Amino acid sequence: MRRATILVAGCVLAAVTRPSAQQPDPLKAAAEAIGATSIKRLHVSAIGSTYSVGQSPSPKEPWPRVVIKSYDAVIDYESASMRVDMVRTQGAIPPRGGGAPFIGEQRQIQLVSGNDAWNVPPPPVSGQGGAAPAAPPSAASDPQPQPASAIERRQQIYLTPHGFLRGALANQASVKTVPSGTEVSFAISGLSTFTGILNSMNQVEHVQTTIDNPVLGDMLVEATYNDYQTAGSLTFPMHVVQKQGGHPSLELWVSNVQSNVPVDITVPAAVRGAAAPPVRVEAQKLAEGVYYLTGGSHHSVAIDMGDHTVVVEAPLDEARSLAVIAKVKETIPGKPIRVVVNTHHHFDHAGGLRTFVDEGATVVTHQINQPYYVTAWAAPRTLRPDRLAKSGRAATFQTFTDKDILKGANRTIEVHWIANSQHHDGFAMVYLPADKILIEADAYTPAAGTPAPSTTPSATAPPSSPPQVSPTTINLYENIRRLQLDVERIAALHGPRVATMDDLRKAVGLGASQ
């Protein structure tokens, strides 16, 4: 699953240098018309929708939608800072597809200032059963550095009307007349090239750029603006839609805009200059020749097949896959990785596949995923070329519908379709019959310590609310029963530990004998 990152189109602006008198007149006219040259700070309130990018229930469907109940953004252009405080809600039943799971309402507070990005855990919320007790100081309440999100959040500066025009004025934009209006284009070092369209009313209608994505390569990011209205010296669009990878990623219906309001966003000492932690992979032996590769948020499993190795799952990105490959070669030396099994196409579970392809591995995946990968992997990768882009090696696939069998000199692996899952239509799990081990991702994540239901109760739910059971976890249990798999242990590809079948039964509300 992917860790949720909310892109704030229409509301993330930052400091840029003052426009030069030599800039083209269309830019000056547009900037003056909407107040881009005079505004220093901004406060925006809205409602709308956010979408879990890369988490669609099938490769042909859009990203899952989550309702934004409230959205409040404050921006300081001069210090290049912004704070977004939003409450998302998805009710008792999550939408089809993936995304960071939650039940009921979820509050998120996200910030960026210059090159530093971080999240702030929201304060305790009073439940219906009374005020929540004051939480003791702990690491859980500290600001959480998000260095991997800094580029995305900074990029939003130029995907907004005011930020786009200020960026164009400061970066020697090219301007030309096109059938749809005036096209403006400029480049920002480290952020890509931005291209926008100005209409006859000097309004920014559309802005697009690209951002590096491990699955899609140079992924297209677009923002469209409608229903401009005037508030004092500021003209602002009341309807904002952003797309990523061709599907909606954010939609805002703006209810209030204020300019030059007081804003004070200070980068915490623990956040300033924070870098992403190094990739760490640890190998835990589950059975003879079977190793659980952990050390991060997403796991893999390496299986010795006698004369070669099979790896289940290549999550996140190339950095993770390179570290996993190195650990596999250290743990199972002298046996090439010939197969990588992919559980589903969600970005966080497929971002490292290309690295295994470059290593020479065949990708085993459900048949609905192959056309998606073929198309996605043919896209340009100019922002951050990976090893496969440099080598040009052709990908090899082995697909299945209901079941696949992988045979080696010393063991057999079964790959099964998880039928009728709301998480993904081409969802796979792996079963090792000789060892009675099941390997799965996202369907069930065991809790640390004492087993507990695999979902997160709402932060705003009353303390007496019963725990919710994930429909995806119930579906996994039903598929194990349907296929009559004799499972003793579950190597979940998320979570802190290997679970047992009894853990899964308890997670779905059943006794150990059921």
Give the total residue count for the chain.
514
Q: Please check whether residues 243 and 290 belong to one and the same domain.
A: no
pLDDT in the model for residue 155? 87
Q: Which of 224, 259, 294 is the last residue of a domain?
A: 259
Q: Please check whether residues 230 and 286 belong to one and the same domain.
A: no
Q: Does 130 map to a domain?
A: no
Q: Does 146 map to a domain?
A: yes
- The angle subtended at Cα 85 by Cα 83 and Cα 87, nearest 5°, is 160
In terms of residue numbers, what domain contains 163?
25-124+141-259
Q: Please check whether residues 337 and 462 belong to one and the same domain.
A: yes
Q: Does 109 map to a domain?
A: yes
Q: Does 476 map to a domain?
A: yes
Beta strand pairing status for 181-188 and 192-198?
Answer: antiparallel
Residue 90, number of CB atoms within 10 A of its CB: 18
**Secondary structure tally for the chain: helices H, strands E:** 10, 26
Q: Please check whether residues 426 and 332 belong to one and the same domain.
A: yes
Q: Please check whether residues 196 and 345 belong to one and the same domain.
A: no
Token pair in block for residue 19: 């426009």
Domain with residue 431: its CATH number is: 3.60.15.10
Tens of pLDDT, residue by residue over 135-186, are: 444 455 799 999 999 999 988 888 889 989 988 998 999 999 999 999 999 9
Q: Please check whether residues 29 and 160 belong to one and the same domain.
A: yes
Integer CA distances (angstroms), 256 to 14, 97, 450, 456, in order = 19, 32, 47, 33
Q: Please check whether residues 251 and 390 belong to one and the same domain.
A: no
CB-based contact 442:494 (threshold 8 Å): yes
Q: Does 106 map to a domain?
A: yes
pLDDT in the model for residue 128? 36
Spans of the chain below 50 pLDDT: 1-21, 23-24, 126-138, 450-466
Measure the CA–CA gap between 462 and 129, rounded to whole angstroms.
5
Q: Please check whether residues 289 and 195 belong to one and the same domain.
A: no
Q: Please check whether residues 158 and 242 belong to one and the same domain.
A: yes
**Which H/E stretch holds residue 391?**
helix 387-391
Measure the CA–CA gap between 40 and 74, rounded to whole angstroms.
11
Q: Please check whether residues 165 and 32 belong to one and the same domain.
A: yes
pLDDT in the model for residue 375? 98
Q: Does 356 map to a domain?
A: yes
Q: Please check whether residues 82 and 50 belong to one and the same domain.
A: yes
pTM of the model: 0.89
Q: Please check whether residues 250 and 341 belong to one and the same domain.
A: no
Domain with residue 50: its CATH number is: 2.50.20.10
Measure the CA–CA gap between 475 and 419, rounded to whole angstroms.
8
CA 427 to chain centre: 18
Q: Does 19 map to a domain?
A: no
Q: Does 100 map to a domain?
A: yes
pLDDT in the model for residue 125? 55
Number of domains present in the structure of the chain: 2
